[in-house]
Structure 1
Amino acid sequence: MAHILAIDDDRAVLSTVKIALESAGHQVVLAEDGAKGLPLVQSKKFDLLIIDIFMPGMDGLETMNMVHQEHPDMPIIVMSGHEFRLVPDTAPDFLHMATKLGAVASLKKPFRSSELLNIVSQCLAKAQSSAVQAKPLRQPRCPD
C-alpha cells in the first residue's frame, strides 16, 4: 500500500492515525513537529503527507511550504482542531493557503478512523490517477 508521513504535535492523534492506517495496510511514519518531519521527507519517499496546521515551532503551513518546494506533486491532507477560517474577513484563510501548498483535502479533529481512511483512500486514488495521466505517451517509431 502507501507510504505515509503524519506530522502532529498531539501524540494521541498520531497514535490514532498510525493504528487506522496500518490496519488498512499502509506504512506510516510519525513526527511530532515540522522540524522532525522535514528530514524524513528529505530522506524517504512518501506517497502522502498528513499534517496538523497549528503546531508550536514550525507550524503546518511553514512545513508544507518546504515540503512543496521539494515534492510539488506530493498530496497533502491538512488536519486541525480549529476552524480553518477563524474569523471571517479578518483572519487568514488557512485552508486556501494550505491548498496553494499542495493540500488536497482537510480533516477536522476529532475525526473517526473511518473518515480518515476514506479521505486517504480518495487522495491516493486521485494522486495515482493523476500520475498515470501525466505519463507521456510513447511516440510510435516509423520504420526507416
Structure 2
Amino acid sequence: MARILVIDDDPTIRSLCTLALSNRGHEVTTAPDGRDGVALVGQRSFDLVVTDLVMPEQEGISTIRSIRERARDLPILAISGSMAGEQRGGVDYLKLAMSLGAQASLRKPFSPRQLSSAVEALLGSPPLPPAA
C-alpha cells in the first residue's frame, strides 16, 4: 500500500481517483489545488503525487516545481484534459510537466484502469492483470 496525494480542482476527478486507487489498496489524500497540495507535501510523507495541470490558485506546472524543491525523488504523475495537453501557444503542457519532473502523464479522460496502471508502474508494483 502506498500513500498517494491527488491534486485536482474537479471534485469528481478527485473522487474517481480516490476510488480507483483505494480499491487497489492505496491510502489516498486529496487537495483541490496546487497550493494546498504543496502544503500537504510539506506536512506529510507521500509515495506518489497525481496532479492536474490546470487549476485555480496554483496550476500544475508551478505545483510540480514546488514539489521538486521539497521532495526531489517523489514520483509525480501529471494529468490533464485535452485543452491543457494540446499545444497552446506553442507549449504542450503534459510534455512540459514531464520536462520539469513528472515521471509520467495521462490525458483526461482516462479510465480507472489506466490510472491504476500508471500509478503501479511509477511505484514499481506488479502490472495489473489483463481485463476480463
Q: Under TM normalisation by the shorter chain, which class is it?
A: 0.7 to 0.9
Q: Give the CA deviation at 1:85.
A: 3.6
Q: Which residue of 1 aligns with 2:44?
A: 44
TM-score (norm 1): 0.81
Give the number of aligned pairs. 124
Structure 2 counterparts to residues 89-128 of structure 1, below 5 A: 90-125=89-124
| One-letter code aligned to 1:86 | Q
Larger Rg: 1
Q: Give the CA deviation at 1:57.
A: 2.0
Q: Give the CA deviation at 1:35.
A: 1.4
Residues 90-144 of structure 1: per-residue CA shift (max 9 Å, x gap): 4223233212322111111111111111111111108xxxxxxxxxxxxxxxxxx
> 3-state DSSP class of the match of 1:46?
coil
> 3-state DSSP class of the match of 2:54?
coil
Distance in 1, Cα, partners of 2:34 & 2:8:
8
Structure 1 segments unaligned to the other structure (5+ residues) = 127-144
TM-score (norm 2): 0.88
| One-letter code aligned to 2:19 | I
Residues 28-60 of structure 1: per-residue CA shift (max 9 Å, x gap): 000000111111100111110000011122000
Q: Which residue of 2 aligns with 1:86?
A: 87
Q: Which residue of 1 aligns with 2:6?
A: 6
Q: Does the aligned pair in 2 maintain the 1:81–1:110 contact within 8 Å?
A: yes
Runs of 4+ aligned structure 1 residues displaced above 3 Å come to none
Report the aligned-residue RMSD.
Answer: 1.4
